[in-house]
Amino acid sequence: MQYPEPIAKLIDSYMKLPGIGSKTATRLAFFTIDMQDDDVTQFAKALIAAKKDLHYCSVCGNITETDPCMVCTDKTRDNSQVIVVEQPKDVMSLERMHEYHGLYHVLHGVLSPIEGKGPEDINITSLVKRLQQNEQIKEVIIATNATPEGEATAMYLSRLIKPAQIKVTRLAHGLAVGSDIEYADEMTLFKAIEGRQEI
C-alpha cells in the first residue's frame, strides 16, 4: 500500500535529515500529522526563520543572526586566543563549559582527500587573513576531532601558522573522566600516554 502523496513527501523530507531512516521518518511524519495546527505552523515558521535569518559570521564563520557575531563583538573576550573548531555546534559545546573566554574560528569541515576536500574547500583562507590582520592573537588552539581527517587538518594548520610566530596548541585527547582503562581502544590509550602531565 502506498502512502498518500503529502505523507510520502513528508517522509522523504524527514529522510533528508542525518541519521533518519525510513522507519523513523515515517514515525515523525505521522507524529507531525497528529500535531495541533498551531504547533505545525510554529514548526514550519521555525524552519523557515532558521534558514532565512541565520548566516555565517564574516569574522569567525560561526552561525549568527548579526554580523559580526556576539562573540566577535564582545569586548570582554580574550583577543589573544582563538580556538579553531570544525563546526558551529562545536562552539556551542565549548561555550557551555563557561571556562573559555577567547575567540573562535569555524572551519566548516576538515581536510579529506577521499571526499575531495582540500584547503580551499574549508574556512582556512579567512583564518590566515585574520591572523595576519590581528597582531593581538598569540595562540591558536586547534580543536578538530580526533579522527584521521581532524588530525590531518590539525597538522596542516600547525605547519601553516607556526612560521607567523604564533603559538599553536592542540586540545588534549585521551581517557574520559570516570572511564576504565580496560575498555579504552588503542588510539585513546596512545593519546592519553602522549598527553600525560606531571603531577
What are the structural domains, with CATH classification, of the chain?
5-53 (1.10.8.420), 76-170 (3.40.1360.10)
Confidence of residue 199 (pLDDT cuts 50, 70, 90): low
Q: Is the pLDDT of residue 4 over 90?
A: yes
Helices 125-133 and 148-161 sit at what angle, rounded to 10 degrees? 30
Q: Could you tell me if 68 and 74 are in contact, meaning their C-beta atoms sit under 8 angstroms apart? A: no
Confidence of residue 188 (pLDDT cuts 50, 70, 90): confident
Q: State mean pLDDT over 106-133.
A: 94
Q: What is the pTM of this model?
A: 0.84
In single-letter form, the type of residue at position 33 comes to I
Quote the CA–CA distance of 163 and 177 in Å, as a whole number: 35
126 vs 4, 56, 79, 133, 145, CA distance in Å?
A: 48, 12, 16, 10, 20
Which value, to the nearest 10 degrees, does the dihedral of the CA atoms of residues 161, 75, 88, 128 take? Answer: -20
pLDDT, one tens digit per residue, over 65-103 is 999 999 999 999 999 999 999 999 999 999 998 899 999
With pLDDT > 90 as the criterion, what percentage of the chain qualifies? 80
pLDDT, one tens digit per residue, over 119-128 is 999 999 999 9
Q: What is the DSSP string of 26-88?
A: HHHHHHHHHS-HHHHHHHHHHHHHHHHH-EE-TTT--EESSSS-HHHH-TTS-TTEEEEESSH
